Structure 1
Amino acid sequence: MKIKTSIILLSFLFVTTLCFAQNGNKKGLPDNFGHYAYMGNASTYEELSKKGMSDEDICKNLGNEAYLRAKYDEASYWYAKLLELNSSTIEPDYMYRYAQSLKSIKNYKDSEVWMKKFKKAKKNDVRAQNYNKDESYFDKLMTASNEYTIENLSSVNSKESDFAPSFYNEFLVFSTGRDLETTDRSATPYLNLYKTTRPEKGQYSTATAFPEELKSVANESSTTFSKDGNIMYFTRNNYKKGSFNRDKNGISRLKIYRSTFKDGVWGNIEDLPFNSDLYSVAHPALNEDGTILYFSSDMPGNLGASDIFKVAINSDGSFGTPENLGSKINTESKETFPFISESGVLYFASDGHPGLGGLDIFSVNLKSQGAVKNLGNPINSPNDDFSMIFDEETNSGFFASNRSGGVGGDDIYALKTIDCMVTITGTAVDKDTEQPLPFVTVNGKNISGGNIGETTTDEQGNYSIEIPCQESQYSITANLNGYEEGSLFMFTTPDEKNIKDARVVLEESSKVAVIGADLVKVLKLAPIYFDLNSSYLREDAFENLDKVVDYMLKRPKVKVEIGSHTDSREEDNYNLWLSDRRAKRTVAYIISAGIDENRISGKGYGETALINKCSNRVICSDRDHQLNRRSEFILIE
């Protein structure tokens, strides 16, 4: 089972006043609502039931534990069970987490429903107010920005979690669980610091431990360095005298430590004065001149599960009083992993501001006091995206994500600004008539399904769309009312700047192949009738048979069974023989027109499937009998 190591491993955790289960939990065990997560094995329903918990508390515990491990499918299951018990009495925060979990598993419709319920139940909540500003935000965020391209650092990432990158001279320092160090208390690997060469300085080097002298039996993570590279701040569990220092609930809080580089080694490791055994302080980030340290914490005065704070660093190395950055940035949920750029732009991760699911990455210019901005697709995804750093000199950066398609649980991704576009021109056409279709919405979609371009065909069905040239694999999709979506897979190289004649084919919804459908009805054909006692195709049949052939030629996967029928006149066995001959003659014509014999078959049904009352010994008109002498073209698997 993959676990969200960056949040689980890294923390033994941020606890808030909401962290105690109620009702049936007589032992006061933490329900993890205010936790980032914790190291250890996952709980089970049976274990919690034996502890005397009520169904409500069990659902809360299992839902929160899954949520904090980024197991959003499991979280949504338990939150659904919880809210089914009595949603009117459950704390609104569970509605919010349920909505977030649903969004992360791409159940957007139900997520919106529960977000609206949360907004109604807790209208003064910052998260509700932010959502209320623009309920169409999700569609906007899913439309991929043309500003950036991302790339998985597959040569650096491991099968374990890799995250929290930071700049250090020519290196990229990051946190990893690849050493697979565990204890009897937890099978989850402990985190260590590693480094690799930054790409702008050359090729990525083999990742190696950094530095050996800081390695301990605790988790080391989330580094930041002074501009001269001689001072480092990093996150570690509350660690004293070679072992974890835990509270009464067995939780080892997070603390920020400072170390100095002297005589070729990192030493003089000191515990910062605003750390505490009662709350966590983590994820340090220095401003450009090293005078301010940003960090995340659940210390008193916070608004949610964890907030972003800042503290002044005095010239003598001492610290001022930590300050909460306020409700513009912090919400009732998690704000964490801050990074401050040279120009004063704060990047941070949050699951409280409107996003795509899980943790999203946001930015805000602290100098201009601008609005908080979700960086959107492709940086953010329905999963957890966090710990972004950005170099404004090279317009590039790095972040971590546990999105699908990665190497391990969390992977580090390189981020670059887009410097070129590919222009694609083409036409959208009807699959059957091959006529151009005007006013079709044409989108570029990356391999994750996000929009990377959008346009509309003109009155002649022509379109032109720009796609970032860094996108080597993508698709062009076309949508028009009354038609099924058409798509065209594209594979291009950065050298291709103009691609022409990209033809997208759309099929009318009424003509989409459905197993069991009769093409006579789908294509609105005139019935294929036969003369009395004759198996020969009539002249009026060929035009309609050609339409069946054309339909099958344009749909190579379609298979058809021809069912031929007679009226009730003549003897039953004779009618079976006659209908079989009619089916075989029809099949022969379609094969002669170019359809593979493996795609077409025929069967005679005689008078066994009459469509009216004209059975044996029933007097009917010639016209009524004629209605039974027909052929059907049934779509089969």
Structure 2
Amino acid sequence: MKNRFILSTLITILSFTVSFSQKDGMSSSAEKKYDNLSYIATTKELIKLVENGNKTPEVYKKLANAYYFNTQMEEASKWYGELFKLDAVVEYEYYYRYAMSLKAIGDYEGANVNMKKFATLKPEDSRAILFSKSPNYLETIEELSSDFELENLDFNSRFSDFGTSFYKDGIIFASSRGEGKLYKWNEQPFLDLYYIADDAGSAEPFSSTLNTKFHESSTSFTQDGNTIYFTRNNYFKGKVRKSGEKVNGLKIFKAELVDGAWSNIVSMPFNNDDYNVAHPALSLDESKLYFASDMPGTNGKSDIYYVDILEDGSYGDPVNMGNTINTEGRENFPYISNNGTLYFSSDGHQGLGGLDIFMTNLEDANQAVTNLGKPINSSRDDFEFIIDEFSNAGYLTSNRYNGKGDDDIYRFTRTFCTQLVSGTTVNKNTNAIIPYASVVVINEKGVEVQNLTSDQNGAFSYEGPCTKQKYNIIASKDTYIQSDQTFVVNPKKKEDVVLKLNLTPETNTAAPIGVDIVQIPELNINPIYFDFDKSYIRPDAEVELWKVIEYMRKYPSVRIDVQSHTDSRASDDYNWALSNRRNVSTKQYIIEKGGISASRLEGRGYGETMLVNRCSNGVKCSEDEHDWNRRSMFIIINR
């Protein structure tokens, strides 16, 4: 068992408990050990019960949970599997836990089966929504994977070592390698803070003042090194406090370095005996303190919060980071890097298994969350990520396979892999150079990633990430028909991408009012098509929509009539509503992605009234034939 898992899973235990009675087949001894979180002792007794024929759902639940909360995922997956073989009615969370334990052993197919069941039972759960939105998440994570070099450090012990912070010329970390009484959860010593000045050196206890007979971990320091925030069990000034449920939880404390010694230890004002507050992280300007908690108002098992640090040294009220970052799973271990990026761990966002490490740009209004991919993440728990963005080096903790002990600390170096994309804009008829043409690059998600202008020699270039992805590139200039191409970045080939963008001179710059754009040669735009009974924009449609966007940017007086249609299946009323949803999504894409004013777009849905082929009601047609009717068309209103 990983001691740090106590700190992140304790919150899960408190928020998801199952009550059992002796009639469920549990001995009073096993029940007491389970309720007291003595999971190693619990598993021993429960295994004996199973061997003696006591194979009730309740026994299997507690046995699987005991292994799960000790991160013994091979055993957890085994006993969750036995539970589901009984075909008993179980809480929906068990499907999620079973999926997570299967991920941890690399059985992604089995995990996805159980995630689908979980999503069916709890469709409103944020984890179910994220899974349903991205069923191909493994491919996405593979594409996000970057070049990192990881090294398991020599100072790791056979116990739990985790939770690094930069301090002076070394690092602070937590470890259960010390002496003292054992913690009943995992039968390892309690955590203390250690300091190591050099990765190759020896670790020493950090402070006899800060280290106690209870857990200390997860530190954050002010830049001058004179103030520390750290996590400790609810133990202060020699007194142990517990919640109303008799649990000794977690709190954040602050101390100051005075004359070379840590003193003036204070408990944060937002701590509470009845909920957990842990894993502090200071913002870059030290005006905010981020942390994890299961306080009232939390979305899931634990959420990331922050408080403002006011000029007088007091603290504002806790603010939840919101449901873009927080899920109904566990979000914890926040870290703010020296370029202001928030890194955190989560088992609620789509990942490879257990806790994965994610990042988000705090200055981004949408706060898009990105998985760091492999090798930073694995099928096990990966967390406590810290990085110096300038040296591109840092540390993370993981209990991945082939480690030295329980949780191990890994040093990493990020080596940026870039791909050079270059090209020339030329006249298609004469091959003459066309200088100062606009060049826009869109990724396969429809996001504009580069906006360039070719130079006086018609040349352009940029360096982008070398992760595998398909791009669309559009070149345009006044009096020329815009040109577009697709290209693929393939990091395995390590070849630069060289493009030649041919622009054709316009022969007719005027467009008659009411003429369908697809009939105007200068645009070469096809209708966009939709999946059956869907209104979302497909990737192939995004390519065409960006042609519309570039055209409207080029001709700012143009207004477009968007006409959307369905096939003949379903009722007339239903198809009318569906075509209007398609119309809205088409226009919304042009407005949001291209920055085109809504006043320049008109249109509505026409249902199944304008079929382009024979596939009317009652006519048997292939899926491809029906596909031609599920479309949006674009009509020029004026220039």
TM-score bucket (shorter structure): 0.5 to 0.7
Aligned in 2, Cα 1:315/1:204: closer, same or farther, shift over 3 Å? farther
Q: Secondary structure of 2:83's match?
A: helix
State the alpha-carbon separation in 1 of the partners of residues 40 and 102 from structure 2: 25
Aligned partner of 1:182 in structure 2 is: 181
State the alpha-carbon separation in 1 of the partners of residues 379 and 492 from structure 2: 26
Aligned partner of 1:401 in structure 2 is: 398
Q: Secondary structure of 2:209's match?
A: helix
Check if 1:292 corresponds to 2:294: no
Aligned partner of 2:371 in structure 1 is: 374
Check if 1:173 corresponds to 2:172: yes
Compute the displacement of 1:101 (Å): 0.7
Compute the displacement of 1:387 (Å): 0.7
State the alpha-carbon separation in 2 of the partners of residues 18 and 130 from structure 1: 21
Aligned in 2, Cα 1:183/1:241: closer, same or farther, shift over 3 Å? farther
State the alpha-carbon separation in 2 of the partners of residues 401 and 312 from structure 1: 31
Aligned partner of 1:5 in structure 2 is: 3
Aligned partner of 1:309 in structure 2 is: 305
Aligned partner of 1:18 in structure 2 is: 16
> TM (normalized to structure 1)?
0.61
State the alpha-carbon separation in 2 of the partners of residues 332 and 30 from structure 1: 28
Which structure has the larger Rg over C-alpha atoms? 1
- Report 1:46-195 matches (<5 A): 55-86=56-87, 89-142=89-142, 145-153=145-153, 155-183=154-182, 185=184, 187-195=187-195
Question: Would you say the 8 A contact 2:396–2:410 is kept in 1?
Answer: yes
Match 1:262 to one of 258, 262, 268: 258
Question: Would you say the 8 A contact 2:380–2:400 is kept in 1?
Answer: yes
Aligned partner of 2:539 in structure 1 is: none
Q: Secondary structure of 1:398's match?
A: strand
Structure 1: tracts of 5 or more residues without a match: 423-451, 456-462, 468-637
State the alpha-carbon separation in 1 of the partners of residues 418 and 86 from structure 2: 52
State the alpha-carbon separation in 2 of the partners of residues 291 and 7 from structure 1: 29
State the alpha-carbon separation in 2 of the partners of residues 247 and 330 from structure 1: 24
- Report 1:240-251 matches (<5 A): 240-242=236-238, 244-247=240-243, 250-251=246-247
What amino acid is the match of 1:172? Answer: I
Q: Secondary structure of 2:311's match?
A: coil
Compute the displacement of 1:133 (Å): 1.4
Aligned partner of 1:341 in structure 2 is: 337
What amino acid is the match of 2:354? Answer: G
Aligned in 2, Cα 1:98/1:330: closer, same or farther, shift over 3 Å? same
Compute the displacement of 1:169 (Å): 1.9
State the alpha-carbon separation in 1 of the partners of residues 491 and 237 from structure 2: 66
Q: Secondary structure of 2:60's match?
A: helix
Residues 2-24 of structure 1, C-alpha deviation per residue, up to 9 Å, x if partnerless? Answer: x1221137875554443232576
What amino acid is the match of 1:192? Answer: D
Question: Would you say the 8 A contact 2:164–2:395 is kept in 1?
Answer: yes
State the alpha-carbon separation in 2 of the partners of residues 137 and 419 from structure 1: 23
State the alpha-carbon separation in 2 of the partners of residues 361 and 184 from structure 1: 27
Question: Would you say the 8 A contact 1:98–1:114 is kept in 2?
Answer: yes
Check if 1:384 corresponds to 2:377: no
Identity %: 41
Aligned in 2, Cα 1:46/1:308: closer, same or farther, shift over 3 Å? same
State the alpha-carbon separation in 2 of the partners of residues 32 and 276 from structure 1: 25
Structure 2: tracts of 5 or more residues without a match: 420-465, 470-489, 495-639
Aligned in 2, Cα 1:244/1:74: closer, same or farther, shift over 3 Å? farther
State the alpha-carbon separation in 2 of the partners of residues 245 and 18 from structure 1: 22
Aligned in 2, Cα 1:5/1:292: closer, same or farther, shift over 3 Å? same
Residues 57-84 of structure 1, C-alpha deviation per residue, up to 9 Å, x if partnerless? Answer: 2222222221121111111122122223
What is the number of equivalent residue pairs in this alignment? Answer: 421
Q: Secondary structure of 1:146's match?
A: coil
> TM (normalized to structure 2)?
0.60
Aligned in 2, Cα 1:219/1:90: closer, same or farther, shift over 3 Å? same
State the alpha-carbon separation in 1 of the partners of residues 164 and 79 from structure 2: 33
What amino acid is the match of 1:21? Answer: S
Aligned in 2, Cα 1:228/1:60: closer, same or farther, shift over 3 Å? same
- Report 1:211-226 matches (<5 A): 211-226=207-222
Compute the displacement of 1:48 (Å): 7.7
Aligned partner of 2:277 in structure 1 is: 281
State the alpha-carbon separation in 2 of the partners of residues 16 and 170 from structure 1: 38
Residues 233-279 of structure 1, C-alpha deviation per residue, up to 9 Å, x if partnerless? Answer: 00111114535433465521011111011111001111111111111
Question: Would you say the 8 A contact 2:288–2:308 is kept in 1?
Answer: yes
What amino acid is the match of 1:219? Answer: H
State the alpha-carbon separation in 2 of the partners of residues 400 and 223 from structure 1: 14
Compute the displacement of 1:92 (Å): 1.4
Question: Would you say the 8 A contact 1:348–1:387 is kept in 2?
Answer: yes
State the alpha-carbon separation in 2 of the partners of residues 205 and 265 from structure 1: 23
Residues 465-499 of structure 1, C-alpha deviation per residue, up to 9 Å, x if partnerless? Answer: 469xxxxxxxxxxxxxxxxxxxxxxxxxxxxxxxx
Check if 1:230 corresponds to 2:226: yes
Q: Secondary structure of 1:166's match?
A: strand
**C-alpha RMSD of matched pairs (Å):** 3.4
Residues 558-578 of structure 1, C-alpha deviation per residue, up to 9 Å, x if partnerless? Answer: xxxxxxxxxxxxxxxxxxxxx
Q: Secondary structure of 1:214's match?
A: coil
Question: Would you say the 8 A contact 2:11–2:294 is kept in 1?
Answer: no
State the alpha-carbon separation in 2 of the partners of residues 420 and 112 from structure 1: 31
